[in-house]
Structure 1
Amino acid sequence: MDPGEIERRWRPEGFHPSDGSDWDGRVQTFDGPIPGEDDPFVSLVIRIAHPDPSWTDVLDIGCGTGRYSLALSKRVRSITGVDVSPAMTEAASRKAEASGITNAEFRAMDWSVADTGRLGRYGLTIAHMTPAICSAGTFAKMLTVSRGMCFLAGYVSRENPIWDRIYRIVGKDGSKTESDKLLYSQDILWKMGLLPRIEYIRKHRSRRISMEEAYSTYVGGARGFTDLDGSQEEEIRGYLDGISEDGYIQDSSDPLIGVLYWDMSGRDD
């Protein structure tokens, strides 16, 4: 696909306040423990990137509560995590301190308007399941700060009955989810003369969440990919109320995640 056509098609959807307030209320959802090195994403990064504690500096774009970059802390020299949500980066800093990790720094930053010239360049760049990479422009910023291995993860399919219903309510094709992000990124990299690879991770998730968390996850999540109107929000809330029991919802899914990775070593453009 022509680069101009990719730029035209691959644009942010929905609405996210630039202060990260729509994500601040979802910290609990994402504030899980730091995964071990047997985690599929972490193990893939270690196996492919071969990080070295004497020189590897990590940039974690859309870091959330820092789980995946902190999992690499013993294998790298430094970690810089950026996220639009101050609450998320504060949680990441607390997690690092509680774990005795001293080589990590987290900053609240809107990646879409970030001054990448002030960030420098990194030997390892990760963007794990984040809406921060949501357009040709935000992907170009990721390339600008990278001088080594890069990893971009996104949904191929959610395999979540609740999301399936919400996609129907808002009139979106849920089968695509984030797969366009991976396809557009791959095409851009091909045109740069790079040879990106992709691996797949299948996960099973099941958790019991409160109605407050359900509204935040699903109504807030829908706003992230569509301009949600009042009637659609009301229908989503009504649907969630209808499947709740004793003030909770059983949230289960079997998502398929694609991890695109490539090497920027030796490139100055």
Structure 2
Amino acid sequence: MDTPLKIAAIDWEEMWVRQTALHAGQRDDENGCYERAWLAPLGSETSTYTDELLSRMELRWNQSVLDIGCGNGAIATALARRVRSVTALDADPRMLAAITHRALAEGITNLHFIHARWEAVEIGRDIEPHDVALASRFFPLTNLRAFIERMNRAATALCYLTWIVGEREEERAISEILGTEHHPLPEYGIIYNLLYTMGLHPSVEIFESRGTQVFRSIEEAVHDLTRGYQSRIESAGKKAEIESWVKSRLSDDGGLLRRRTSSRWALIGWRRS
């Protein structure tokens, strides 16, 4: 009889690196497969993601929260209204400029900013531990264990991270039109199992976010939904087919084009002991 393979015997980080490399390798920009997470969409966008996420986090008014990879600041500014203080960290100065503008416009004074790469931050020197560390829609291409270990040192009470469940509709469609094998991002189960083998006893909750993207033109929509694939689409002569697919996902609203979106996310959390 075969002996079941124990979770601890599997190299979950190597599996993560391999699957991430396959996903990145199908794009024009192998080192930028998370560009869409960094940059705001070209069209305006509304989403229930922030509300759905924060409603599931254990937060108290007297806590400090570290937002790792804060992006455009939507989550950090929402957090700042619920807790004592928030530190927003991002490697992209454009994102910090956006969040600074947002905080000033909304009169938020308990939000602090750090311009740094998370993997280069030394806890206790560059940043003090916070009560809660959050990595929303995080994106370590490699060194997942080191990313988690640094998060663990940065929090005294709780750590949270989110990862997409399933695949992006547009990436699957692009692969089918190009006739290439589709490699989605790694599944959240790899993160969970790595945490388990590290003795961190994670919990997982799946939630859904819904939203609407708004574009001024079909060209704008195509450009946004095909980021990272445009050179391959053009070289394959599939631009017209891609445009046709994008059009099928849009509705015309008085000259504006709207795309309804729905995504599932895994909220993975663990308590610091």
The correspondence of residues 1-269 of structure 1 with structure 2, limited to 5 A, is 1-2=7-8, 5-11=11-17, 13=21, 14=24, 15-16=30-31, 26-28=39-41, 39-45=51-57, 49-53=58-62, 56-116=63-123, 117-132=125-140, 135-136=143-144, 137-158=146-167, 160=169, 162-168=170-176, 169=178, 171-174=181-184, 177-178=185-186, 180=187, 182-209=188-215, 210-211=217-218, 213-215=220-222, 217-220=224-227, 223=228, 230-232=231-233, 234-235=235-236, 237-242=239-244, 243-244=246-247, 250-264=258-272, 266=273
**Superposed displacement of residue 90, structure 1:** 1.0
Deviation at 1:44, TM superposition (A): 0.9
Q: One-letter code of the match for 1:51?
A: R
Residues 84, 65 of structure 1: alpha-carbon distance in 2 compared, 3 angstrom cutoff: same
Note the C-alpha offset of 1:141.
2.4
| 1:233–1:118 CA distance, 2 compared to 1 (3 A) | farther
| C-alpha contact 2:52 2:209 (8 A) present in aligned 1 | no
Across the aligned residues of Structure 1 and Structure 2, the Cα RMSD in angstroms comes to 3.6
> One-letter code of the match for 1:146?
A
Structure 2 CA distance for aligned equivalents of residues 186 and 66 of structure 1: 26
Higher normalized contact order (CA 8 Å, seq sep 6+, divided by chain length): 2
The aligned length equals 245
- The answer to whether the Cα contact below 8 Å between 1:201 and 1:256 also exists between their aligned partners in 2 is yes
Q: Mark the runs of 5 or more structure 1 residues left unpaired by the alignment.
A: none
Unaligned runs of 5+ in 2: 1-6, 25-29
So what's the TM-score if we normalise by structure 1?
0.74
Q: Is the 8 A contact 2:37 2:71 kept in 1?
A: no
- Give the residue type in structure 1 aligned to 2:77: L
Distance in 2 (CA, whole Å) between partners of 1:238 and 1:248 is: 21
Residues 107/248 of structure 1: CA separation in 2 closer, same or farther (3 Å cut) = farther
CA distance in 2, matches of 1:73, 1:93: 13
Q: 1:186 to 1:62 in 2, by over 3 A?
A: same
> Helix, strand or coil: the match of 1:119?
coil
**Cα distance in 2 between the residues matched to 1:155 and 1:191:** 21
Which string of whole-angstrom CA distances, capped at 9 and with x for unpartnered residues, describes residues 126-151 of structure 1? 11123257642323322232222111
Whole-angstrom distance in 2 between the partners of 1:262 and 1:35: 24
Q: Which moved more, 1:110-119 or 1:149-158?
A: 110-119
Amino acid corresponding to residue 101 of structure 1 in structure 2: I
Paired with 2:106 and 2:47, the residues of 1 have a C-alpha distance of: 9
Which deviates the most, 247-256 or 137-146? 247-256
In structure 2, the CA distance between the partners of 1:84 and 1:251, relative to structure 1 (3 Å rule), is: farther
C-alpha contact 1:79 1:103 (8 A) present in aligned 2 = yes
Aligned residue in 1 for 2:4: none
Question: Could you say if the C-alpha distance between residues 36 and 229 of structure 1 is closer, same or farther in structure 2, counting changes exceeding 3 Å?
Answer: closer
TM-score, length basis structure 2: 0.73
AA of the residue aligned to 2:132: L
Deviations 1:63-110 (A, max 9, x none): 111111221213322211122322122111111111111111233333
Distance 1:233 1:42, change over 3 A: farther
**CA pair 138-234 structure 1, distance change in 2 beyond 3 A:** farther
Shift of 1:113: 3.7
Task: Give the secondary structure class of the aligned counterpart of 1:96.
Answer: helix
